[in-house]
């Protein structure tokens, strides 16, 4: 079952106590979801997350029937009710009956600050995400990657498809640096992460071209550096992929992207704190 934290959550338009979680055991059929990082009481890039939630819901034939304005109100209300500064909020839209919409604080584990200085350990896993562009709840997928991360003592596992291409992380997007050039998997083959989107925007403003092409796992030893992007990670450099050691934390492109993304978050928080009307 979902990990639901703090004291209150929303079930459709009802404020509920986290002591009453029966609805989480009664969900039926498909569910789509979003995880949104709250930082300094501001849900980061909320408009992008809601756009992706609607796209996921429409793709599986269960369009979201609640307006963005109402969703904004409920999310900011939930932050206020629980008096939360920094934690992830999860939204689940389930197809049961006329639809069940759950908004709640979930367990949130962020990388320690030193990971951005020293980099993280990752490992390869032969696994493909079904319908990679849609955020569908899949318990079997989650169990597989959790087991792999634990067995390999890895912060993240990097997925390898049936053609032996490295595609993405289990909960993140992957970027590669090779000969001063950035590479990432083609958009049609991966989950289109919100932080991935922001990194691509930063690259455009920097005048950096990002090549979207498949990377064979056999060619990983030819790369100079790598990083993952994700809601809970921001831009996080990779130190090792199994036994392969990278110098990602020394790469000027990686270091610039970490700083530029941090600056973007700071501006977003400032803007939405000043304009907060919910």
Asked if 128 and 102 sit in the same domain, the reply is no
* 184-207: pLDDT as tens digits: 999 988 989 999 999 999 999 999
Rounded Cα gap, residues 157 and 143, in angstroms: 13
Mean model confidence pLDDT for the chain:
94
Q: Is 274 part of any domain? A: no
Asked if 218 and 94 sit in the same domain, the reply is no
CATH classification at residue 35? 3.30.470.10
The string of DSSP letters for the chain reads ---EEEEEEEETTEEEETT--GGGGS--S-EEEEEEEEETTEETTHHHHHHHHHHHHHHTT----S-HHHHHHHHHHHHHHHT-SSEEEEEEEE-STT-EEEEEEE------TTHHHH-EEEEEEE---SSTTS-B--HHHHHHHHHHHHHTT-SEEEEE-TTSEEEEESSSEEEEEETTEEEE--GGGS---HHHHHHHHHHHHHT--EEE--EEGGGGGG-SEEEEEETTTEEEEEEEETTEE--GGG-HHHHHHHHHHHHHHHHHHHHHHHT---
Rounded Cα gap, residues 177 and 249, in angstroms: 11
Residue 275: pLDDT band (50, 70, 90) is low
Residue 131: pLDDT band (50, 70, 90) is confident
pLDDT at 276 over 70: no
Burial classification of residue 174, based on how many CB atoms lie within 10 Å of its CB (0-12 exposed, 13-18 middle, 19 or more buried):
buried
pLDDT at 162 over 80: yes
* 198-255: pLDDT as tens digits: 999 999 999 999 999 989 999 999 999 999 999 999 999 999 999 999 999 999 999 9
pLDDT at 98 over 90: no
Residue 278: pLDDT band (50, 70, 90) is low
Q: Which domain holds residue 237?
A: 115-266
Q: Is 275 part of any domain? A: no
Whether this model's pTM surpasses 0.75: yes
Residues 95-107, mean pLDDT to the nearest whole number = 89
Asked if 97 and 146 sit in the same domain, the reply is no
**Residue 17: strand pairing partners:** 8
Q: Is 260 part of any domain? A: yes
Rounded Cα gap, residues 42 and 86, in angstroms: 8
Q: According to the model, what pLDDT value does residue 277 have?
A: 59
Domain boundary among 106, 130, 148: 106
Asked if 95 and 187 sit in the same domain, the reply is no
Total number of domains in the chain: 2
Domain boundary among 46, 80, 106: 106
Asked if 134 and 87 sit in the same domain, the reply is no
> Which bin fits 30, alpha (ψ -120 to 50), beta or left (φ > 0)?
beta
Residue 267: pLDDT band (50, 70, 90) is very high
Asked if 102 and 128 sit in the same domain, the reply is no
Asked if 123 and 241 sit in the same domain, the reply is yes
Residue for token pair 């083609």: 186
Domain boundary among 82, 106, 130: 106
Q: Is 246 part of any domain? A: yes
């Amino acid at each position: 079952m979902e990990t639901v934290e703090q004291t209150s959550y929303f079930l459709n338009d009802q404020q509920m106590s986290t002591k009453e979680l029966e609805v989480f055991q009664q969900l039926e059929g498909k569910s789509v979801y979003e995880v949104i990082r709250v930082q300094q009481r501001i849900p980061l890039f909320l408009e992008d997350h809601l756009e992706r939630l609607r796209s996921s819901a429409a793709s599986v034939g269960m369009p979201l029937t609640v307006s963005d304005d109402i969703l904004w109100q409920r999310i900011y209300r939930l932050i206020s009710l629980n008096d939360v500064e920094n934690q992830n909020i999860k939204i689940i839209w389930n197809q049961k009956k006329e639809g069940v919409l759950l908004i709640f604080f979930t367990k949130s584990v962020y990388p320690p600050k030193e990971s951005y200085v020293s980099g993280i350990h990752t490992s390869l896993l032969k696994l493909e995400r079904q319908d990679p562009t849609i955020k569908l709840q899949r318990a079997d997928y989650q169990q597989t990657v959790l087991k792999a991360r634990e067995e390999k003592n890895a912060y993240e596992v990097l997925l390898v498809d049936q053609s032996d291409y490295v595609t993405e992380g289990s909960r993140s997007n992957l970027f590669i640096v090779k000969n001063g050039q950035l590479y990432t998997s083609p958009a049609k083959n991966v989950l289109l992460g919100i932080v991935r989107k922001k990194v691509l925007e930063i690259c455009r403003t920097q005048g950096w071209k990002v090549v979207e092409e498949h990377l064979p796992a056999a060619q990983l030893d030819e790369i100079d550096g790598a990083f993952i992007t994700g809601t809970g990670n921001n831009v996080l450099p990779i130190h090792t992929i199994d036994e392969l050691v990278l110098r990602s934390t020394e790469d000027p492109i990686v270091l610039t992207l970490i700083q530029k993304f941090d600056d973007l978050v700071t501006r977003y928080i400032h803007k939405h704190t000043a304009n907060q009307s919910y």
